Amino acid sequence: MTDAPMTIREMCAAFDVTPRTLRFYETKELLTPERVGQRRLYGKRDRARLTLILRGKRFGLSLEDIRQLLDLYARDSVNEAQMRRACELGRARLAQMQAQRAELDEAIAELTTELAWGEGQLARLARAAE
Amino acid sequence: MTDAPMTIREMCAAFDVTPRTLRFYETKELLTPERVGQRRLYGKRDRARLTLILRGKRFGLSLEDIRQLLDLYARDSVNEAQMRRACELGRARLAQMQAQRAELDEAIAELTTELAWGEGQLARLARAAE
DNA sequence: AGGCTGGTTGACGTGCACGTCAAGGAAACG
DNA sequence: CGTTTCCTTGACGTGCACGTCAACCAGCCT
């Protein structure tokens, strides 16, 4: 069952993070696992959120940035003002991501060029060594 | 002349960073401005490097990561082993960037979907309010 | 000479994202 | 029953990327 709740250890293994990290995210209200007695149980929702959190981090977003974005995905924004705000934030972030994508493309192109030059040099050195 | 050296203030204005940042990058050997007396003068090379540094940061790279990459762009790697190492690093980073690009595309698609849903909800609320 | 502006080197402080113990609870095992 | 194992909550420590402040030149202006 992919929707069976997971213990903290299973989460750590599945997502390659430490228990400390998961508890830390909880204090920052990024995750809200159920409790059985004192122990945490992470359900489908929290696993989806953690996926988004880790991806956000790879893009260089701060945890606070991510928290704001998660509100948009939460789709439980009760009142309209809150939802309007989440949408605005989402649009801004989307624009930013598209800009980042353009930059990333440029960086990839440049690095490819440099790499071709570098490997050309290596090839030249190899020939000269004979 | 676009290749005229710039003072630290001009650099700060041009790249929107603080003097502290530029001096900090220098201690980390990311920048190596000339000196006129005690004052720093940033030439074409350092400006190009700073552009790459700031872009790297937007991708979530650490300054140490960036320093390694800059070595590849430096193209003054004197010995072969060093250059071979730089190329390997570059290839690894390139693969990582391409993976990040794929992830970014996915994130953009998801966010677009969520946003459409959110704005649809807002529109529905607006109609219901009439 | 005095003062202002702008730059310089330390040294220490700060916010973020955790890491690393310490002390204790609860459940499971022999 | 005790012990082991896993989890819990603080509390303090750490590395990175700077911010902030102090004290000190070096020109330039008047």
- pLDDT (tens digit per residue) in A36-57: 999 999 999 999 999 999 999 9
Residues from chain B that touch A49, judged by Cβ atoms under 8 A, are none
Q: Is residue B125 part of a domain?
A: yes
Range of the domain at B124: 93-130
Question: Which sign does the torsion angle of CA A100, A101, A105, A106 carry?
Answer: negative
Q: Does the pLDDT value for residue B73 go beyond 90?
A: no
- DSSP labels for A4-15? S-B-HHHHHHHH
DSSP-derived 3-state class of residue A40 = strand
Q: Is residue A128 part of a domain?
A: yes
- pLDDT (tens digit per residue) in A52-88: 999 999 988 999 999 999 988 877 666 788 888 889 8
From the Cβ of A88, is strand C under 7 Å away?
A: no
Q: Which nucleotide lies closest to B41 by the C1' atom and the CA atom? A: C7
pLDDT bin (cut points 50, 70, 90) of residue A110 is very high
Residues from chain A that touch B87, judged by Cβ atoms under 8 A, are 115, 118-119, 122
Taking CA atoms, what residue in B is nearest to A112?
Answer: B94
Count of the separate structural domains present in chain B? 2
Q: Chain C positions under 7 Å from a protein CB?
A: 6-9, 16-20, 25-27
Same-domain pairing of A45 and A99: no
Q: Residue range B30-53: average pLDDT?
A: 95
